[in-house]
Amino acid sequence: MTTALWDRETFLENLRAIGARAYHDKHPFHVAMNEGKLSQDALRGWVANRFYYQQNIPVKDAAILTNCPLREVRRTWIHRILDHDGFGENEGGIEAWLRLGEACGLLQNELIQNRLLQPGVRFAVDAYVNFARTQPWPIAVASSLTELFAPDLMATRLAAFEKYYSWIDSGGLDYFRRRVTQARRDSDEALAITLEYCTTPELQRAAVGALEFKCDVLWSMLDAIHQAYGPS
């Protein structure tokens, strides 16, 4: 049986539907965080474990670039590595996350050396990096489309931190402030690439599966953090 190619709008609707049902903003730990119900230890645990993901974002993006033969796509994608690793006077997202950790009372060495990293978080993040290395590059690009749902999440998270976690120095929240804008730009770029290059039924369904997989990665990370730190 031949599977039909989705038109652009149907393809887009199928991608967006995944966020509506599976994005990690619906995870109980994330809901508790946005409702101000996390203890200081639980919030520190989330920051420390999420840092492993932040460290590996440019590694994942470098894998996509390695597999992509198209110069025009590489030119679009490469800024992501610089956004996180930093360049020139731009400190980058990793450094901004380290400042968030310090604002929460964590030592930089605790984060950099992953002293608080939970095995489940390591497993999920490593699986995501391996996915980017081994899948066709348009499918790896599609896995990043959780960014479609990130701007609203970042804005809500920032408001929650400012309202409920005033013990965190406001300067440590700069990562969230900049990602409200960056995530919207990044998702627009990734979506345009996905729609342009996933042009067969097989690639379209693989793209949907990739986005589902990425949601599972983020959900699994929170499962591990929730188990380690609560809330009950």
Answer whether residue 45 is part of any domain. Answer: yes
Here the tokens at position 137 are: 């590059």
211 in Cβ contact with 142 (< 8 Å): yes
- Is residue 18, in this structure, part of any structural domain at all? no
How many domains would you assign to the chain? 1
Q: What is the pLDDT of residue 2?
A: 59
Q: Where residue 141 sits, what CATH number does that domain have?
A: 1.20.910.10
The verdict on residue 110 lying in a domain is yes
Residues 47-97 pLDDT 10s? 999 999 999 999 999 999 999 999 999 999 999 999 999 998 889 999 999
3-state secondary structure of 1: coil
pLDDT above 70 covers a percentage of the chain that reads 99
Q: Is residue 2 part of a domain?
A: no
Domain span at residue 90 reads: 24-229
Asked if the structure places residue 12 within a domain, the reply is no
How many alpha carbons lie under 13 Å from residue 12 in its C-beta half-sphere? Answer: 12
What's the confidence (pLDDT) of residue 89? 87
> Which residue reads 């490469």 in tokens?
78
Residue 1 in any domain: the answer is no
CB distance 67 to 73 below 8 Å: no
pTM for the model? 0.95
Q: What pLDDT, in 10s, does the model give residues 153-197? A: 999 999 999 999 999 999 999 999 998 889 899 999 999 999 999
Q: Does 3 reside within a domain?
A: no
Does residue 7 form part of some domain? no
